[in-house]
Structure 1
């Protein structure tokens, strides 16, 4: 009787590869890279399956041998600086060139060499999320753009020199349609976006400080933009002669009217008791405080930016 039962029970290492892949897809990439290949040869082979590597998602590093980073600028110290590099080598070894989405961990410090390695070993990325904590210079960003020529969606905290970096995006990433920034929208930045990315369809500045004049530049000069997300933003004027600055929770009527005429989606927060707005920008007439938060980075009212 026991012999018959043993014959009817399928061993884990004999499972069909398609079933293994479906099970493995429920796990995070660090478990796929560090744990599963050690079980047996069939599991090792399944870990290379293309269906597991549509996205390289490093937002969950709880299974990482170094422990999940918990605070901004993690692994920035010299003795820790090679940790992200080793993770990138491992995941791109298994993922090969299959990844279409690449999401870095929010808390990890991103070095220039790390970005270059990711761009070289995963060149077919369409959607990319770069963390706020990094040491990226213009040259390293330009090199990455030259590798990611199929990029369609870019989520990035901001640019050191926006003219040069946006020009690199525009010249190399011809298919870029969606851009999310987590930095103040100035008039100069708005002009650079219009000039460098004329084919942009969706722009999100969620939870940022926005100059009203900059929004006007975007609305008047960017003829192909369809969607603009200004949810949970604080609007401000360009300082006048006496250096007085005013902040507003909502854009003025002229901006709203023009946006409704020109765009398919124009998103702003109109709640007086919005918890997100209150936590980001305590509205007391002084300069608003702003802190990068993981949920701001990952969430968005425009679905193309959420991940």
Structure 2
């Protein structure tokens, strides 16, 4: 090395805290599809908890066709496979650190996808569900049982919310906010209707 030459610095040798700060400016797709492939050090940086406090999938929505009869909505299997793959990558990189999970109102999420998210996001505090009600109540209750730290839930309208609310009462001691997208139809008395739609403590 000649006098005055500076040593060659490699990108993978960049301080991880500096790298994580830089990665905060990238969008979700760059963060999961491009950056982890650069090198081992960059993939490790992509798993930093600072990048995964929130997983915002509100940029994604399903291509669907409305039907006049059950299931009322048709979503092609290819888009479901892509969504499953994306969720898997995100949840693997996040290493259980996601505290806020937001779905687009028109994103079709099935029971298996929600179950996987529940198992891989045990620290979840806030969940915004899609607007259509396609997830079974028992799947929702199992997920809520895992989310002991859940504080806020935005969910679609369901015919009988009592079972879900009972599970929240049993499992989520820090729960403070429930938002329901649409009317709440149940066997409960009418004066409870307003309570369930604007439940705040």
TM-score bracket, normalised by the shorter chain, equals 0.7 to 0.9
Q: Which position in structure 2 is the counterpart of 1:106?
A: 105
Aligned equivalents of 1:186, 1:135: Cα separation in 2: 16
- Over 3 Å counting, the alpha-carbon distance change for 1:186 and 1:135 in structure 2 is closer
Aligned equivalents of 1:49, 1:225: Cα separation in 2: 33
Aligned equivalents of 2:168, 2:20: Cα separation in 1: 35
CA contact 1:111–1:135 (8 Å) conserved in 2: yes
After the TM superposition, which of the residue ranges 120-129 and 21-30 deviates more from structure 2? 21-30
Q: Which position in structure 2 is the counterpart of 1:36?
A: 35
Q: Deviations over 1:256-280 (max 9, x none)?
A: xxxxxxxxxxxxxxxxxxxxxxxxx
Q: Which position in structure 1 is the counterpart of 2:83?
A: 84
Do residues 121 (structure 1) and 120 (structure 2) align? yes
- Over 3 Å counting, the alpha-carbon distance change for 1:4 and 1:178 in structure 2 is farther
What secondary structure is seen at the aligned counterpart in 1 of 2:90?
Answer: helix
Aligned equivalents of 1:147, 1:26: Cα separation in 2: 31
| Alignment coverage as a number of residue pairs | 193
- The TM-score, its normalising length taken from structure 1, stands at 0.55
Do residues 153 (structure 1) and 159 (structure 2) align? no
Extract unaligned runs of 5+ from structure 1: 62-68, 195-213, 227-307
Q: Which position in structure 1 is the counterpart of 2:68?
A: none
Deviation at 1:225, TM superposition (A): 4.8
Aligned equivalents of 1:26, 1:190: Cα separation in 2: 49
Deviation at 1:143, TM superposition (A): 0.8
- Over 3 Å counting, the alpha-carbon distance change for 1:79 and 1:60 in structure 2 is closer
- Over 3 Å counting, the alpha-carbon distance change for 1:72 and 1:176 in structure 2 is farther
Q: Which position in structure 2 is the counterpart of 1:162?
A: 161
CA contact 1:159–1:165 (8 Å) conserved in 2: no
Q: Which position in structure 1 is the counterpart of 2:180?
A: 181
- The TM-score, its normalising length taken from structure 2, stands at 0.81
- Once the two structures are superposed, the pairs formed by residues 7-46 of structure 1 within 5 Å of their partners are 7=7, 10-46=9-45
> Which has more radius of gyration?
1
- Over 3 Å counting, the alpha-carbon distance change for 1:96 and 1:189 in structure 2 is farther
Extract unaligned runs of 5+ from structure 2: 66-72
Backbone CA RMSD of aligned residues? 3.2
Deviation at 1:30, TM superposition (A): 2.6
Deviation at 1:159, TM superposition (A): 2.0
CA contact 2:62–2:108 (8 Å) conserved in 1: no
Q: Which position in structure 2 is the counterpart of 1:136?
A: 135
Aligned equivalents of 2:46, 2:106: Cα separation in 1: 26
- Over 3 Å counting, the alpha-carbon distance change for 1:225 and 1:156 in structure 2 is closer
* Runs of 4 or more above 3 Å deviation: 2-7, 69-75, 185-192
Deviation at 1:190, TM superposition (A): 7.3
Aligned equivalents of 2:83, 2:189: Cα separation in 1: 33
What secondary structure is seen at the aligned counterpart in 1 of 2:101?
Answer: strand
